[in-house]
Amino acid sequence: MLVAEFDREWELVLERAKVSKDLAGIRDLLGKWRHIAYGELRDPGSYYRLLAKAEQVQRLGANPDEVSLEEMKALLRRRQGRAE
């Protein structure tokens, strides 16, 4: 569950900040989780799908869904309604 992950990270970062008297780690953590929370709001489960995909790429040593740069550019042009 995402809340439990946040809580674990929050406790760790908070303890580090108490020792170091530096809030940079807290700002970084909140920035990271702001993006995760927004992604989950728009597409629930996206965080865990991203983690699963990262694990798959690490395990295989490559991304099985990889496309070339030219294919990606063509896809973007089509989405923007421009000709090939």
State the Cα–Cα distance between residues 42 and 22, nearest whole angstrom: 32
Strands (E) across 1-84 are located at none
- The rounded Cα 70 to chain-centroid distance in angstroms is 25
Helix, strand and coil in the chain, % to nearest 5: 75, 0, 25
Q: pLDDT class for 10, splitting at 50, 70, 90? A: very high
| pLDDT at residue number 1 | 86
36 in any annotated domain: yes
Number of domains in the chain: 1
Its domain, for residue 60, covers 2-79
pLDDT beyond 70 at 68? yes
| pLDDT at residue number 57 | 96
84 in any annotated domain: no
33 in any annotated domain: yes
Instruction: Give the pLDDT mean for 57-80.
Output: 94
Please give the angle made by the CA atoms of 26, 29 and 41, to the nearest 5 degrees: 135
Instruction: Give the pLDDT mean for 56-75.
Output: 94
Mean pLDDT of the chain, nearest integer: 94
What angle, 0 to 180 degrees and rounded to 10, lies between the N-to-C axes of helices 2-20 and 24-42? Answer: 170
Q: pLDDT class for 83, splitting at 50, 70, 90? A: low
